Structure 1
């Protein structure tokens, strides 16, 4: 009897050891949660958002502008794989308002392509472009795709606000209205659809900027054009140390 008792104890020990060695359920924490969230968002690059305004030549059609940008995006995508461009292009009768979201390298090439076209073509249909704001390292995209909308009819206004407001007030209104419009599109336009369409002037006329503000910003010298911006971007930064301006120059051993 005692032999059988010892046998039973010997049999139980391997099972107890196996239970201790069995894989345990991993415990997660808040850090792991945040890392997983970033991984799921596929945030492989820093995002930037750029606001542009420009004038268009007479008889410029929507097809001309959209085809130009779509070809530019496809060409740039060969060098910047996975860095898609999202945003909104509003085409007014004689001007455009363009919001772009992508990496710094992609936005740089978009500006560079415009500068080359403006220099090489006798009369490029997009002229007088100005960079109003460039927001760096934005947390997320507002636009899920790149949308194009034509403002078919001009919106009537009682007075020209650019005559009574300062430049700071005009820029504040510009950014406020564009962000409100962006949030409206984010909430109403489903992913995969063509976009808000060409009837924004009927759906949300109160969110559309007057074209006179866009023209006013195009004329303002306070904002950089793409060529000047790129020259500053490519210019190296030289820092003069105090030791470099001391005379006689310090000797080094």
Structure 2
């Protein structure tokens, strides 16, 4: 009996299979990017957004500059260290806006536009379209946010939008805007006030014709801010039909 009792005390339950399996730490691509940013002493992933829109006639540069600066300062109170840099080109009846910042800050700028659109207030920007958002860019093209008015209309011999496909037009758009941004990056010194309103004289070959902006505004392939935000806020996990049937499907494991 003593031997029986001793054997019972010495008997141990087998460990569960999960405890026997080595616990390998798992990560994902987002964690990898965040760690990369941390090692580079960056607080957030940097993104670049290209916007086009129609504008009111006779738009004053000072008015729009003061407005956006107030928007940026308001957002900065809730997103410390996420400054906005970029370039706003004001054409006679349209604009091209390049913005660089964190994703949260860029989305707040879109929400500000949607807030004016819902209230149907007299706003200087209409029919905005998002052309492209470049995610996790390595560096900024712009050290500050600048506004430039394209005052002198440029005459074009032909309308390229009539002879080119959408892919060709958007390729030209991205090529020209990146060339212009790179030119300003190399030519502007830190702390400079901006390129001024004489870009049509300094770099006329790098300026996009307004007709291209008008063409992109009419294309249904590009999202407006409302459609983009609806897609952004949509849940990633989709409920499958098998998850809502009754009785619930059961799985048996051997």
Instruction: Identify whether the pair has TM-score above 0.5, normalized to the shorter chain.
Output: yes
5+ residue gaps, structure 2, are: 1-35
- Quote the residue 2:161 is aligned against: 162
Task: Tell me how many residue pairs correspond in the alignment.
Answer: 217
Q: Quick one: structure 1 residues 250 and 137, their matched pair in 2 at CA, closer, same or farther if it must change by over 3 Å?
A: same
Is the Cα–Cα contact under 8 Å of residues 147 and 194 in structure 2 kept in the other structure? yes
- Quote the residue 2:210 is aligned against: 211
The alignment status of 1:229 with 2:247, answered yes or no, reads no
Separation in 2 of the partners of 1:201 and 1:40? 41
Deviates most, 241-250 or 172-181? 241-250
The alignment status of 1:57 with 2:50, answered yes or no, reads no
- Quote the residue 1:119 is aligned against: 118
Is the Cα–Cα contact under 8 Å of residues 37 and 44 in structure 2 kept in the other structure? no
- Quote the residue 2:174 is aligned against: 175
Separation in 2 of the partners of 1:67 and 1:166? 38
Deviation at 1:41, TM superposition (A): 6.0
5+ residue gaps, structure 1, are: 1-36
- Quote the residue 2:85 is aligned against: 86
- Quote the residue 2:20 is aligned against: none
Deviations 1:176-235 (A, max 9, x none): 000000010000000101011110000110000000000111111110011111111111
Separation in 1 of the partners of 2:103 and 2:38? 21
Separation in 2 of the partners of 1:238 and 1:39? 29
Report the TM-score when normalising by structure 2: 0.80
Deviations 1:107-146 (A, max 9, x none): 0100000110122143311001000000111111111111
Separation in 1 of the partners of 2:160 and 2:191? 37
- Quote the residue 1:244 is aligned against: 243
- Quote the residue 2:105 is aligned against: 106
Separation in 1 of the partners of 2:116 and 2:194? 27
Deviation at 1:42, TM superposition (A): 3.8
Separation in 2 of the partners of 1:190 and 1:40? 27
Q: Quick one: structure 1 residues 42 and 144, their matched pair in 2 at CA, closer, same or farther if it must change by over 3 Å?
A: farther
- Quote the residue 1:74 is aligned against: 73
Deviation at 1:252, TM superposition (A): 6.8
Q: Max radius of gyration: which structure?
A: 1
Deviations 1:130-170 (A, max 9, x none): 00000111111111111111111111110011111111110
Separation in 2 of the partners of 1:146 and 1:41? 23
Deviation at 1:246, TM superposition (A): 7.0
Separation in 1 of the partners of 2:157 and 2:239? 54
- Quote the residue 1:193 is aligned against: 192
Give the secondary-structure state (helix, strand or coil) at the position aligned to 1:99: strand
Separation in 1 of the partners of 2:37 and 2:222? 35
Deviation at 1:237, TM superposition (A): 2.2
Deviation at 1:245, TM superposition (A): 6.9
The alignment status of 1:133 with 2:132, answered yes or no, reads yes
Separation in 2 of the partners of 1:78 and 1:237? 29
CA RMSD of aligned residues (A): 2.1
Give the secondary-structure state (helix, strand or coil) at the position aligned to 2:208: coil
